[in-house]
Structure 1
C-alpha cells in the first residue's frame, strides 16, 4: 500500500523525529560516548539499532519519503527516542495511524484547576465536569446541592450513572426516570465508544452491570444516543420542581464533558437563585 499522506505531513513527521533524536545523548540511552560529534544528539543508525529497524528505512522515514509504517514499528521508534505518552500520540497522528484518545483521568488536579473557575462563574446554573463514563470530576455550588450534598458522597462513588441506578433517593429526583435511564445508558455507550478497553470505562460498566439488573439489560441492547442538548425535570429536595435545559460541551483531548443546566421557565430561574443562596450559606 502506498503512503498517501501529503508531503508536508511526511516532512513534519521527519522533522519531529529528527528533533527528538537530536535532544538525546548517547549517555542517556546507555550508549558509550565516542568523543566529539559533528551533529547534536544520536545518529540515525543508533536509533535504528535501538528500535530494531533498518538504517535505510529509518533514514527514509526522517527524510519524509512515502514509506509504509506499522503501529508496532512506530512504537519501537518511539521507545528508542524516549518519547512520552503525548509525543507518542503526536507521532501516531503524523504517521496517519489509528489514534485512540487518551484515557481521561477522573481526578486530574490540573484539569480541575483549569475548569473550576469556569464552573463557579456559571452560577446560579448547576454545572459539572464529567468523564465519558459519568464520573464527576468537578462541579459548582449549585450542582453540589442539586440532588444531595455531593461532597458527602465518597469520591470513588461520585458517578451520576452509579448513583442513578443504585440509589433510589437520587433516582427519585427525576420526574421521568424511566426515560432518563434508557437515554443515560445509550449516551454512555456512545460516549465511551471504542474506549471500553480502557480501565476506567471498563471498571464503571462492570460495576454497574453487577449492581443493577436494569443497567445490564439496557446495556445489552446496544442502543446509541448522541445528544448534547435535552430538557429534564428534577425534583430538588431544597427548592422543588426544576425544569432544566441540559447543554454539554466536550474537551477534544481528554473527552471530558461539561454540562450546564439552565432554566426552561421563570419559576425554575427563581428556584435556582434560591438554591445558590442556600449553597452559599451552607459553606
Structure 2
C-alpha cells in the first residue's frame, strides 16, 4: 500500500478517537469536572488513564502514527470513551484494517439480478461504495435511476447533491441525509486510502455544504430497517418500509427492498 494512502487510513482512526474524546464530558466519564477547560471533552491523558494505557502511546494513535493496538487495548479504549456497540465494532475494524487491492466496481451475479427483476416492490442492489448496480422496474418508477448518468448512480450523490431528491423527502430530507452519511462513514474509513473513495468524498465536499459539516462529526450508524415517506412528482405521497440484505456471493453487495405501507 502506498505510504500516503496508509497515512490517510491511519488518520481516520486518529480522527475517530479524537471526535469521540471531544464529545465525552468528564461527568459522563465518571471524572470530576475540575477547573474550566479550554477544549471540549476529555484530555488525552484522561482517556489514557481510563483505558489503562500510556499517554504517549495514546497520542501516537490520535496522531495517526504507525501503532497496532491489541484487541484488549481496543476494548479498553471503547469502554473509556463510552462507545456504542456500533462504534466499538468500527474501532475494532479500523485497528485491524489490512492492506487491500484497489477498489473495483462490483458485478452482480445473474441469479441476484433475476431475483431483483422478479420482485413487484421497488428493489435495487448497491456495492461497497454505495453505487446503484442493479434495479427493477418498480424501483425505476420511483427513483428513475436510468435517467442518471452512470457516475451519478450512487446513493450518496443522489441524496446529498440532487435538488429533486431534497424536494421528494421534504422536511424529512435532513434526517435521511444525516443517516446515510453516518452509515457510509463506517465503510469509508476502511477504504479511505482508495482513489475511488477519495474521488467520491471530494465530490460530496464540493457539492454538498451539509455533507462537509456532518462529516466532521464522524458519526457512525449501522444499516437498519426503517420507514421512509416521499412525495413523488407523479405518484404523490409514498410511504415505504425498507430493509437491506447482504449477499452471500459477495458481502459488498446489498439488496434493498421497499415495501409499500
- Tell me whether 1:207 sits opposite 2:189 in the alignment: no
| Aligned pairs (5 A) from 1:1-283 | 105-106=104-105, 108=107, 111=108, 113-123=110-120, 125-147=121-143, 149-175=144-170, 176-251=172-247, 253-264=250-261
Aligned partners of 2:97 and 2:190 also within 8 Å: no
Report the Cα offset of residue 158 of structure 1.
Answer: 1.1
Report the Cα offset of residue 211 of structure 1.
Answer: 1.3
Give 3-state SS (helix, strand or coil) of 1:223's partner. Answer: coil
What residue is the counterpart of 1:63 in the other structure? none
Separation in 2 of the partners of 1:159 and 1:177? 17
Q: Deviations over 1:18-50 (max 9, x none)?
A: xxxxxxxxxxxxxxxxxxxxxxxxxxxxxxxxx
Change (3 A) 1:240 1:101: farther
Separation in 2 of the partners of 1:100 and 1:263? 42
Separation in 2 of the partners of 1:101 and 1:118? 30
Q: Deviations over 1:90-137 (max 9, x none)?
A: xxxxxxx965676664352xx2533221111221x1111112332111
Runs (5+) with no aligned partner, structure 2: 1-95
Separation in 1 of the partners of 2:168 and 2:99? 36
Structure of larger gyration radius: 1
Name the TM-score, length of structure 2 as normaliser.
0.57
Report the Cα offset of residue 195 of structure 1.
Answer: 1.6
Residue correspondences, number: 164
Change (3 A) 1:182 1:193: same
Aligned partners of 1:135 and 1:159 also within 8 Å: yes
Separation in 2 of the partners of 1:172 and 1:106? 30
The RMSD of aligned alpha carbons is: 2.2
Separation in 1 of the partners of 2:206 and 2:111? 34
Q: Deviations over 1:165-203 (max 9, x none)?
A: 221112211141011111110011023341222232222
Runs (5+) with no aligned partner, structure 1: 1-96, 265-283
Q: Deviations over 1:56-87 (max 9, x none)?
A: xxxxxxxxxxxxxxxxxxxxxxxxxxxxxxxx
Name the TM-score, length of structure 1 as normaliser.
0.53
Aligned partners of 2:127 and 2:133 also within 8 Å: yes
What residue is the counterpart of 2:15 in the other structure? none
Change (3 A) 1:145 1:107: farther
Separation in 2 of the partners of 1:185 and 1:228? 14
Change (3 A) 1:173 1:254: same
Aligned partners of 1:104 and 1:255 also within 8 Å: no
Separation in 2 of the partners of 1:201 and 1:165? 16
